[in-house]
Amino acid sequence: MQRSQINALMREAEEFFAAHRFALPLWAAWSPADWAAAGPEAAEVRRHQLGWDITDFGLGDFERCGLLLFTIRNGKLGDPRSQKPYAEKIMIVRERQLTPLHFHWQKIEDIINRGGGELVIELYNSEATEAKAATPVTVSIDGVTQTVPAGGQVRLRPGQSITLPPRLYHAFWGEGGQVLVGEVSAVNDDAGDNRFHDPLGRFPAIIEDEPPRHLLCTEYPPHPGD
């Protein structure tokens, strides 16, 4: 992805969040210079990779297959300094923009439609071999169970949420406009807990064609003691 594209997506996201009255942490607006000057007080943000996260899954076509996320809070597995067994994200899913089929080995999560269009989610159980299973899928939509066939879809209207347990394959996209999507989950570990059905990249390669507006969560400068 080009840095100019990432910057433009950040500007659009800030406007979309504001339109839905969803306020980000104050450090979401920090510049690269702010991060260069930040000391140990921002250690949790750096260690836990909180903040901006924009990916095209290594496919080079963000509009077709991509996702914009902002991690608001997160623990860190295996770190005795971490006191949080949970995570929260806010995401923007564009119309017909696919987040590819994947599951998490450990993480259980609630995906919440916070506003905008509808969020369409495709579901498969997984076999012990991690292949897609042909069995029906039963999920909880705001505490009410619903069963769909293998590869079936559920549609979340604004205000609705779905619980996704570990090893449940899911892919999703927006219909009827952009969707503001929340995620509340166990600790998120992008380095070791994502299983994409078809191998994909999680973080994009970036072409630096202009200075960054904000740093991505993988770009914070290291600080002694982090």
**Arithmetic mean of pLDDT, 16-41:** 97
Instruction: Give residue 203's pLDDT.
Output: 86
Tens-place pLDDT, residues 84-93: 999 999 999 9
Q: Is the pLDDT of residue 71 over 90?
A: yes
Q: Is the pLDDT of residue 180 over 90?
A: yes
Tens-place pLDDT, residues 91-108: 999 999 999 999 999 999
Q: Is the pLDDT of residue 211 over 80?
A: yes
**Arithmetic mean of pLDDT, 146-173:** 98
**Which of the four pLDDT bands, split at 50, 70 and 90, describes residue 83?**
confident
Contacts of 224 (CB under 8 A, 6+ apart): none
CA distance 106 to 83: 18
Instruction: Give residue 80's pLDDT.
Output: 84
**Arithmetic mean of pLDDT, 152-165:** 98
**Arithmetic mean of pLDDT, 28-55:** 97
The domain spans of the chain are 3-196
Q: Is the pLDDT of residue 162 over 90?
A: yes
What's the chain look like in SS3?
Answer: CEHHHHHHHHHHHHHHHHHCCCCCCHHHHCCHHHHHHCCHHHHHHHHCCCEEEEECCCCCCCCCECEEEEEEEECCCCCCCCCCCEEEEEEEECECCEEEEEEECCCCEEEEEEEEEEEEEEEECECCCCCECCCCEEEEECCEEEEECCCCEEEECCCCEEEECCCCEEEEEEEEEEEEEEEEEECCCCCCCEEECCCCCCCCCCECCCCCCCCECCCCCCCCCC
**Arithmetic mean of pLDDT, 164-186:** 98
Superfamily of domain 3-196: Jelly Rolls (2.60.120.10)
pTM above 0.85, yes or no: yes
CA distance 104 to 182: 17
**Which of the four pLDDT bands, split at 50, 70 and 90, describes residue 204?**
confident
**Which of the four pLDDT bands, split at 50, 70 and 90, describes residue 226?**
confident
Output the six-digit token pair for 212: 């960054």
Chain mean pLDDT for the chain: 96
